[in-house]
């Protein structure tokens, strides 16, 4: 059996070791999930709702433990980690209302009527990345369970600890054996098997566009349902007529939250030319003032990157001679630290401007007018997120409609809420998670004609 050593990204010290699930064990888990499904789909809606609420309560009573695991195993600042554990509870509670609302339609037709049912799919495979181990797990797990499916989840190899604990909490809360299982292991083994196994009826994948593309191709072999949440290169568009102080004060959090390891990171700041100098003067102290350091400290705003290899990857976007306008600070010594870094002016073919960095590196680019801002924002294969800063309501709506992304905020740096739909345009993904309709994506609509003749 292979074993993975989880490292603390802030200290490089081992946290614990985790046994990796093998191909055979993956098959056994899928068989357990398939065997548990007929009984789970028959659990009365009110009872399924009660079990999900018990699961949420169990998560709630272990928030500090879960947050501590994420601090140690992923390097997330403790304030963020507490919020992430709370998100698991809240998402479970939100979707605990769904089992009793999975209602169909009745459609009068000549000679009778048709009724529709939302039928659960069966076993759902959930593949989770390392950047937000808890929230992204919950976004797939909660609506899938609520809709009457059983779930087999694979956390990222590097960050399995919170998902494994959440799997135990599900059992402690009373979910039957086999209904929700967590399999720590490699994507090439466990993840690939979930994709290829015919008993797995849907894959929910969050991760890189490259792996997402190969998963979509593999799912096509079995016409398997798939939701993809992939990369981003989102724009933070700042017009001259906005509250520039607020835009500059929040811009660091729009891109450096989670050390920039965020698919929604606004890693391209576009600023109207007439206010670029003033924006940069306001932005610089905001970047330098970010509290980067010990994730266990409540005052910390940004922690380390996930691994040495990822730090090398991020650093490759800032070679010597790169146009560094200014930087924040980062601890020296042990830990996978990288300082918040602002690049300007950047050439349009600079990889830092065109590619997803997934680290604390942002570019600043001027634009002349609304049409140019939209064109520049859309000049990317991605389309996940973005922000628009303006005091002109008409412009805010015009630009929001014109920018080809799934999730935008106006005069705010954040746009993800679990009760609103989330997902990407273009190569940022396929399908939507979250929001009131999410359980429907874990069902098939069945249409039944009933003769009255
Ligand atoms: P990867 O695509 O490398 O990995 C994501 C998950 O897929 C991991 O659990 C990984 O396992 C698994 N995996 C890898 N190869 C396969 C395979 N062949 N078959 C099945 N599963 C596989 O992405 P990262 O972990 O590097 O995550 C970062 C990326 O995720 C970024 O591009 C980011 O933009 C994107 N992301 C998108 C979000 C969104 O909602 N749109 C949210 C968060 C991140 P293993 O752990 O072994 O590598």
Q: How far is CA 303 from the centre of its chain?
A: 18
Backbone angles phi, psi at 129, to 5 degrees: -85, 180
Nearest protein Cα to ligand 1, atom 35 = 207
Q: Which positions are catalytic?
A: 229, 263
Helix, strand, coil shares of the chain, percent, nearest 5, are: 40, 20, 40
Q: How far is CA 294 from the centre of its chain?
A: 24
* CB of 154 closer than 6 angstroms to any ligand 1 atom: yes
Q: According to the model, what pLDDT value does residue 1 have?
A: 75
**Of 181, 97, 94, 83, which is closest to residue 134 (Cα–Cα)?**
83
Q: 263 CA distance to ligand 1 centroid (A)?
A: 11
CA dist 314 and 369 (Å) reads 31
* CB of 255 closer than 6 angstroms to any ligand 1 atom: no
The CB density around residue 185, as the number of other CB atoms within 10 Å, is 23
CA dist 270 and 421 (Å) reads 25
Q: 130 CA distance to ligand 1 centroid (A)?
A: 7
Which atom in ligand 1 lies closest to the alpha carbon of residue 194? 20
The CB density around residue 376, as the number of other CB atoms within 10 Å, is 17
* CB of 382 closer than 6 angstroms to any ligand 1 atom: no
Q: Which residues, 6 or more positions from 44, have their beta carbon under 8 angstroms from its beta carbon?
A: none
Rounded average pLDDT over 43-69: 98
Nearest protein Cα to ligand 1, atom 48 = 187
* CB of 192 closer than 6 angstroms to any ligand 1 atom: yes
For ligand 1, pick from 162, 203, 208 the residue to mutate: most ligand atoms within 8 Å of CB: 208
Number of H helices, E strands in the chain: 14, 18
3-state secondary structure of 79: helix
Q: Which residues, 6 or more positions from 336, have their beta carbon under 8 angstroms from its beta carbon?
A: 9, 10, 12, 75, 304, 305, 306, 307, 308, 310, 311
Q: According to the model, what pLDDT value does residue 166 have?
A: 99
* CB of 420 closer than 6 angstroms to any ligand 1 atom: no
What's the number of CA atoms in the CB half-sphere (13 Å) around residue 137? 31
3-state secondary structure of 180: strand
CA 430, 145, 422, 64 torsion: positive or negative?
negative
Rg (CA), the chain: 23
* 277-292: pLDDT as tens digits: 999 999 999 999 999 9
* 179-235: pLDDT as tens digits: 999 999 999 999 999 999 999 999 999 999 999 999 999 999 999 999 999 999 999
> What percentage of the chain carries pLDDT values higher than 90?
99
* 155-171: pLDDT as tens digits: 999 999 999 999 999 99
Confidence of residue 413 (pLDDT cuts 50, 70, 90): very high
Mean pLDDT rounded to a whole number for the chain: 98
* CB of 432 closer than 6 angstroms to any ligand 1 atom: no
Q: C-alpha angle 431/435/441, rounded to 5°? A: 45
- Helix (H) or strand (E) holding 226, with range, is strand 225-229
For ligand 1, pick from 18, 187, 216 the residue to mutate: most ligand atoms within 8 Å of CB: 187
Which atom in ligand 1 lies closest to the alpha carbon of residue 132? 43
For ligand 1, pick from 153, 207, 356 the residue to mutate: most ligand atoms within 8 Å of CB: 207
* 315-354: pLDDT as tens digits: 999 999 999 999 999 999 999 999 999 999 999 999 999 9
């Amino acid at each position: 059996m292979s074993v993975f050593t989880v490292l603390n990204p802030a200290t490089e010290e081992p946290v614990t070791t985790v046994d990796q699930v093998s191909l055979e064990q993956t098959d056994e888990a899928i068989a357990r999930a398939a065997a548990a499904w007929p009984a789970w789909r028959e659990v009365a809606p009110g009872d399924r709702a009660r079990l999900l609420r018990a699961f949420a309560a169990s998560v709630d009573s272990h928030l500090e433990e879960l947050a501590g695991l994420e601090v140690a195993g992923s390097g997330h600042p403790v304030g963020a980690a507490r919020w992430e554990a709370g998100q698991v509870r809240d998402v479970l509670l939100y979707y605990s209302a769904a089992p009793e609302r999975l209602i169909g339609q009745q459609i009068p037709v000549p000679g009778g009527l048709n009724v529709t049912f939302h039928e659960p799919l069966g076993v759902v495979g959930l593949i989770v990345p390392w950047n937000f181990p808890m929230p992204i797990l919950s976004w797939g797990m909660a609506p899938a369970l609520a809709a009457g499916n059983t779930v087999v989840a694979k956390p990222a190899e590097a960050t399995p600890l919170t998902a494994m604990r959440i799997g135990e909490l599900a059992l402690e809360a009373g979910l039957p054996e086999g209904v929700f299982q967590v399999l720590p292991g490699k994507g090439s083994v466990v993840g690939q098997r979930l994709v290829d196994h015919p008993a797995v009826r849907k894959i929910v994948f969050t991760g890189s566009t490259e792996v997402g593309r190969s998963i979509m191709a593999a799912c096509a072999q079995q016409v398997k349902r798939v939701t993809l949440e992939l990369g981003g290169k989102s724009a933070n568009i700042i017009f001259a007529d906005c509250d520039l102080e607020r835009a500059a004060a929040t811009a660091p959090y729009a891109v450096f939250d989670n050390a920039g390891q965020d698919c929604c990171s606004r890693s391209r700041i576009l600023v109207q030319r007439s206010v670029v100098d003033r924006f940069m003067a306001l932005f610089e102290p905001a970047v330098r003032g970010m509290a980067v350091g010990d994730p266990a400290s409540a005052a910390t705003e940004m922690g380390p990157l996930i691994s040495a290899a990822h730090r090398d990857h991020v650093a490759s976007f800032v070679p010597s001679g790169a146009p560094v306008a200014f930087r924040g600070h980062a601890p020296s010594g042990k830990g996978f630290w990288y300082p918040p870094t602002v690049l300007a002016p950047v050439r349009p073919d600079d990889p830092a401007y065109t590619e997803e960095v997934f680290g604390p590196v942002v570019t600043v680019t001027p634009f002349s007018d609304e049409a140019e801002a939209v064109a520049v924002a859309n000049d990317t294969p991605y389309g996940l997120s973005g922000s628009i800063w303006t005091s002109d309501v008409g412009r805010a709506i015009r630009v929001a409609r014109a920018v080809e992304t799934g999730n935008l905020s106006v005069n705010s740096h954040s746009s993800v809420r679990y009760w609103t739909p989330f997902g990407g345009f273009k190569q940022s993904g396929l399908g939507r998670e979250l929001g009131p309709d999410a359980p429907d994506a874990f069902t098939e609509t069945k249409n039944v004609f009933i003769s009255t003749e």
